[in-house]
């Protein structure tokens, strides 16, 4: 990637905004600048975060076009983020940033558009056969929440379908998962996929497993749980990681079935990148395929972990260049 700006060259501001981090980069003359990361909680509004980024960039003139990928459903050019207290309004942003256009797209749509641009060394295969050329691809990910999108076709017929699959109801696959769900239902009116398969969800798993085991809740953070689970110093943290990986495999298998993703299921998002080796050795793939009569069908579907540090910007750059559609 190039530097942050190219003075004298018109640029497009690209943004990937999640519940924890807001990331920004400039696209100028076809070259993508290195993304910079800002903590969402450090800024009262997205405009403030954008201004902080632009103040440190070399954009001259300022970007006249802005393309923002953010977590949450978009209606009439407006998005209230699901996991952060930010509201993005395209018209307001255009006015306040003096931009000719501001476009809002779903964050996992950007992840899906990135799939054709991902270098082979930024994909780690975890089971399955070869991706079927031209078949649908599903991209899912656990971060502050749980995202999902589907990509189908190629060239002029390429289409990305945006979903809110992270808010679908979560189903259990074992008696222990049943017990965890009962505990979660006592706290929440609806137990969605992202109640478990997200950074905060891993902490929920830890608390529920501690309760079921009659152990004290030590108030561990998600990074603590990952660290103690990986080094074996906390049995409950290890069990939480095991359950997370198994449940992720089950959900990923459901998504492969419901979308016909014979082109593969791709895991993005920040959580699993912290324990890729553990995930590969876990029950993830077995649970992915454990769908009764459809086990043979799923055994051929490849699953990959995306290891690129900022894949959304590859998708945003493709979108900004034109030629892709959203459904």
DSSP letters spanning 200-223: HHHHHHHHHHHHHTT-------HH
Q: What distance in Å separates the CA atoms of residue 241 and residue 202, rounded to the nearest whole number?
A: 7
Structural Rg of the chain based on CA atoms? 20
Task: Read off the pTM.
Answer: 0.92
Q: What distance in Å separates the CA atoms of residue 294 and residue 153, rounded to the nearest whole number?
A: 24
The CATH number of residue 293's host domain is 3.40.367.20
pLDDT of residue 165: 95
Joined tokens for residue 323: 């030629």
In a domain, 82, yes or no: yes
In a domain, 2, yes or no: no
Q: What distance in Å separates the CA atoms of residue 246 and residue 69, rounded to the nearest whole number?
A: 29
pLDDT of residue 57: 84
pLDDT of residue 324: 47
Give counts: helices (H), strands (E), the chain: 11, 15
The backbone torsions φ and ψ at residue 305, rounded to the nearest 5 degrees and listed phi first, read -105, 130
Angle of helix 175-185 relative to helix 199-212, nearest 10 degrees? 110
In a domain, 4, yes or no: no
Joined tokens for residue 52: 């902080």
Provide DSSP, 227-293: HHHHHTS-HHHHHHHHHHHHHHHHHHHHHHHHHT-TT-EEEESSSGGGSHHHHHHSSHHHHHH--GG
Asked if the bond preceding 50 is cis, omega within 30° of 0, the reply is no
Q: What is the dihedral of CA 274, 276, 281, 284, to 10 degrees?
A: 90
- Looking up tokens 């696959």 gives 173
Q: What distance in Å separates the CA atoms of residue 251 and residue 32, rounded to the nearest whole number?
A: 34
Total count of domains within the chain: 2
Specify the length of the chain in residues: 327
In a domain, 236, yes or no: yes
CB-based contacts of 235, cutoff 8 Å, min separation 6: none
Same domain, 283 and 218: yes
**CA count, 13 A, side-chain hemisphere, 260:** 6
CB-based contacts of 236, cutoff 8 Å, min separation 6: 206, 209, 210, 213, 215
Q: Measured between alpha carbons, how far is residue 160 from residues 107, 153, 319, 323 in Å? A: 12, 9, 11, 12
Same domain, 297 and 203: yes
In a domain, 6, yes or no: no
Same domain, 283 and 320: no
Q: Are 206 and 220 in contact (CB under 8 A)?
A: yes
pLDDT of residue 4: 47
- Looking up tokens 């029950």 gives 283
Same domain, 101 and 151: no
Give pLDDT tens digits along the chain (327 positions): 444 455 567 899 999 998 889 999 999 888 999 999 999 999 999 999 999 999 988 666 789 999 999 988 899 999 998 778 999 999 999 999 999 999 999 999 999 999 999 999 999 999 999 999 999 999 999 999 999 999 999 877 899 999 999 999 999 999 999 999 999 999 999 999 999 999 999 999 999 999 999 999 899 999 999 999 999 999 999 999 999 999 999 999 999 999 999 999 999 988 999 999 999 999 999 999 999 999 999 999 999 999 999 999 999 999 998 744 444
Q: Is 59 left (phi over 0), alpha (psi -120 to 50) or beta?
A: beta
The backbone torsions φ and ψ at residue 6, rounded to the nearest 5 degrees and listed phi first, read -130, 100
In a domain, 1, yes or no: no
The CATH number of residue 85's host domain is 3.30.420.40
Same domain, 100 and 133: no
- Domain range for residue 260? 120-307
Angle of helix 199-212 relative to helix 235-259, nearest 10 degrees? 130
- DSSP three-state, residue 139: strand
Same domain, 241 and 301: yes
Q: Measured between alpha carbons, how far is residue 158 from residues 22, 112, 191 in Å? A: 27, 11, 33
């Amino acid at each position: 990637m190039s530097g942050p700006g190219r003075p004298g060259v018109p640029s497009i501001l690209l943004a990937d905004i999640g519940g924890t981090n807001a990331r920004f980069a400039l696209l100028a003359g076809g070259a993508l600048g290195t993304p910079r990361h800002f903590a969402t909680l450090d800024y009262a509004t997205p405009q403030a975060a954008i201004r902080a980024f632009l103040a440190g960039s070399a954009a001259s003139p300022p970007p006249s076009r802005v393309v923002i990928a953010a977590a949450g459903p978009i209606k009439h050019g407006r998005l209230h983020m699901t996991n952060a207290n930010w509201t993005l309004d395209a018209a307001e942003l255009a006015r306040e940033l003096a931009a000719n256009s501001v476009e809002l797209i779903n964050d996992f749509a950007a992840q899906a558009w990135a799939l054709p641009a991902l270098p082979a060394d930024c994909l780690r295969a975890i089971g399955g056969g070869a991706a079927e050329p031209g078949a649908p691809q599903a991209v899912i990910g656990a971060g502050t929440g749980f995202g999902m999108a589907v990509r189908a076709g190629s060239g002029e017929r390429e289409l990305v379908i945006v979903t809110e699959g992270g808010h679908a109801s979560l189903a259990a696959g074992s008696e222990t998962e049943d017990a965890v769900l009962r505990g979660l239902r006592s706290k929440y009116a609806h137990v969605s996929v992202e109640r478990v398969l997200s950074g905060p969800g891993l902490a929920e798993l830890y608390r529920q497993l501690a309760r079921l085991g009659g152990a004290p809740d030590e108030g561990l953070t998600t990074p603590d749980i990952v660290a103690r689970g990986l080094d074996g110093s906390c049995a409950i943290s290890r069990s939480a990681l095991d359950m997370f990986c198994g449940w992720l495999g089950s959900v990923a298998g459901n998504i492969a079935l419901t979308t016909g993703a014979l082109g593969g299921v791709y895991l993005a998002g920040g959580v699993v990148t912290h324990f890729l080796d553990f995930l590969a050795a876990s029950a993830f793939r077995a649970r992915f395929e454990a769908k009764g009569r459809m086990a043979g069908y799923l055994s051929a579907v490849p699953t990959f972990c995306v290891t690129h540090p900022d894949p959304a910007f590859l998708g945003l750059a493709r979108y900004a260049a034109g030629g892709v559609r959203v459904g």
